Amino acid sequence: MERRTLLVRLNRYLSMCGITSRRKAEQLILEGKVRVNGLVVKELGWRVDPERDVVEVDSRVVKPLKRRYIAFYKPCCYLTALGPAKGGKKTIEEFIKDIPERVYPAGRLDYNAEGLLLLTNDGELASRVMHPRYGLPKTYLVWVWGKVSQETLKKMEKGAQLEDGFAKPISVRLVKHEKNGSLVEVVFHEGRKHIVKRFVSHFGHKVLRLKRTSIGPISLGKLKPGQWRDLTGEEIRKLKKAVGLLEEGHGRPA
């Protein structure tokens, strides 16, 4: 079977190599600092074959970094940060120290919250996952004090005015009533600070526990607190599609 060549824009390729951002890569190209197969290329739309073409920046051959896309179950009472403990609080660093690539969180979870975090060294994907423009739905399980009534659920569905603006979830449903409380599933497309806790508290229910179970097409699955796994190829494809990062077309130049 004939090999199908997947070409990428030169500025994107430089970003994939960890050289700089796409925008700054364009400047390098315009300045004549980039060569493809020994020839200076100044066309911003030029595309390269990552497997066959030799790309140089200032006479140094550059190659794409090994990309890692990881689903991680952040435990409660850990900071969504890298590095050693800060202010007496532990960070998630201790759980991912054996990953050779330098991955970082695409988004965050509150100190007292737990659940799904996406970790990656793909800067552009991380940026889009976090950007409100792409509106990735995020699903949370919320354990609250007291019985949440059907009337309250209907009010939640309509949204609420918080101190930093109106907040309306994509969906809200009662999972079950418990002895002294309730378990509610809330789905938001935005990630304002403490938005889930503030939203639920607005209706008179104290949040006892908060767990994020999915981000867009990626679910927590069977992971336990502190565990992580690499995303499958299909999960990566779905995630990139959700934030508009699938390759567009082939050929050179664009």
List active site positions: 110
Q: How many CA atoms lie within 13 A of 67 on its CB side?
A: 15
Among candidates 144, 119, 140, which has minimal Cα distance to 130? Answer: 119
Q: Is 246 exposed, middle or buried (0-12, 13-18, 19+ CB in 10 A)?
A: exposed
Helix (H) or strand (E) holding 218: strand 218-219
- β-strands 104-105, 114-120: how paired? antiparallel
φ and ψ at 102, to 5 degrees? -85, 90
Q: What single letter denotes the amino acid at residue 182? A: S
**SS3 per residue for 152-185:** HHHHHHHCEEECCEEECCCEEEEEEECCCEEEEE
Residue 178 to residue 169: CA distance in whole angstroms: 23
Neighbour-count burial of 181, counting CB atoms closer than 10 A to its CB (0-12 exposed, 13-18 middle, 19+ buried): buried
Tokens 């493809």 belong to 36
- Contact residues for 189 (Cβ-Cβ < 8 A; gap 6+): 132, 135, 136, 137, 138, 170
